[in-house]
Amino acid sequence: MAKRIDVSDLNVYYGAFKAVEGVTMTVEPRSVTAFIGPSGCGKSTFLRTLNRMHEVIPGGRVEGKVMLDDQDLYASGVDPVAVRRTVGMVFQRPNPFPTMSIYDNVAAGLKLNGLKGKKKLDDVVEKSLKGANLWNEVKDRLNKPGAGLSGGQQQRLCIARAIAVEPQVLLMDEPCSALDPISTLAIEDLIGELKSKYTIVIVTHNMQQAARVSDRTAFFNLAATGKPGQLVEVDDTQRIFNNPSVKATEDYISGRFG
């Protein structure tokens, strides 16, 4: 299921503005890779290029290559919609569809892509909710609105919704930044379980979180305000936190800037 992502020499632009410059890195399958760095350094922007979500923003475009195993995501003829079915995404703020029940939220991806058959959908919904550690909390109220859940439950609902379409890769853009510590712990535990099946990339501002959940960590930084963000280094999380090879990384992690 899980696939490797190979990025080479990637530049991201919004219109004429170069937001991210020259990123080359590999994201290993069945592992958690964390992106850390100060605000505005382009880590979220870069994350969005991994499933072409940056194209949703007018003027967003990239130069360079992103390979998902042996498939070039930006080759001509590749449908961004198909890319997003393979590379799922969870957002900063829980965003369940407000018109839909819990059940429909989880089934949304499949239903909207034309899958029918109640039995099949029932199975997928149950499997996905179990996969997101939410099944026991909501199994008796699947027809209640998804927006009625707590923030942490909503975020797990969004994760269930994302894994219901069986992606290869799961991108998470600060998935815990709107949650309280207990909900955060629940999500972090979930990430630990999900990595046995998916390639996970998580953007986080919380360095303890990066240290807790990730196998590898990438540190992004920008030379100055208005300059494009860059990948400073990427390595095993242990090394990044204990013995980084670049001084800026050590300064950032120890809180000397950012």
Partner 1 sequence: MSAADTAARAPSAPSGGQSSSGRPAGGRPAEPPPALGHPARVREARDLLASVVMWAAFALALIPLVWILWTVVSKGYHLLSEGQWWTNSQKGITSRREGGGAVHAIQGTLVQGLTTALISVPIGVMTAIYLVEYGRGRLAKAVSFMVDILTGIPSIVAGLFVYAVWVTTFHFQRVGFAVCLSLVLLMIPVIVRSTEEMLKLVPNELREASYALGVPKWKTIFKIVLPTAFSGIVTGILLGLARVMGETAPLLILGPYSKSIATDLFSGYMATLPTMINQDRTESLQPAVDRVWAAALTLILLVLLLNVAGRLVARFGSVKK
Minimum distance from residue 125 beta carbon to partner 1 (Å): 14
Question: What is the secondary structure of 173-215 as a DSSP string?
Answer: ESTTTTS-HHHHHHHHHHHHHHTTTSEEEEE-S-HHHHHHH-S
Using CB under 8 A as the binding rule, whether residue 97 contacts partner 1 is answered as: yes
One of 88, 131, 175, 244 touching partner 1 (CB under 8 A): 88
* Separation in Å, CA 122 to CA 111, 139, 149, 152, 161: 12, 11, 20, 23, 13
Binding partner 1 (rule: CB under 8 A), the pick from 8, 24, 113, 208 is 113
Could you tell me which residues are beta bridge partners of residue 172?
Answer: 90, 202
Find the binder of partner 1 among 33, 44, 45, 101 (CB under 8 A).
101
Stretch that binds partner 1, among 8-16, 92-100, 183-191, 198-206 (CB under 8 A): 92-100
Among positions 46-75, residues that touch partner 1 (CB under 8 A) are 51, 53, 56, 58
Name the minimum Å distance from CB 21 to partner 1.
24
Q: Which residues, other chains included, contact 170 with Cβ-Cβ below 8 Å and sequence gap of 6+? A: 87, 88, 89, 90, 159, 162, 163, 194, 198, 199, 200, 201
Site string for partner 1, 137-156 (x = CB under 8 A): --------x-xx--------
Nearer to partner 1, 81 or 224 (CB): 81
Binding to partner 1 (CB under 8 A) within 198-227 occurs at none
> Which lies closer to partner 1 via its Cβ, residue 55 or residue 215?
55
Q: Least distance to partner 1 from the beta carbon of 86, Å?
A: 8
| Tokens standing for residue 234 | 């990427």
1 binds partner 1 (CB under 8 A): no
Q: Is 124 in the site for partner 1 (CB under 8 A)?
A: no
Indicate if the alpha-carbon torsion angle 98, 100, 106, 107 is positive or negative. negative
For 18-42, b/e burial (b = at least 16 CB within 10 A) is bbbbebebebebbbbbbbbbeeebb
Structural contact between residues 171 and 89, judged by C-beta atoms closer than 8 angstroms: yes
Cα angle vertex 112, ends 127, 108, to 5°? Answer: 40
Q: Compute the least distance from the CB of residue 47 to partner 1, in Å.
A: 11
Angle between helices 118-131 and 151-164 (to 10 degrees): 130
131 binds partner 1 (CB under 8 A): no
Q: Which of residues 229-248 bind partner 1 (CB under 8 A)?
A: none
Of positions 25, 108, 178, 185, contacts partner 1 by CB under 8 A: 108
Q: Applying CB under 8 A, which residues contact partner 1? A: 51, 53, 56, 58, 81-86, 88-89, 91, 93, 95-99, 101, 108-109, 112-113, 145, 147-148, 158, 161-162, 165
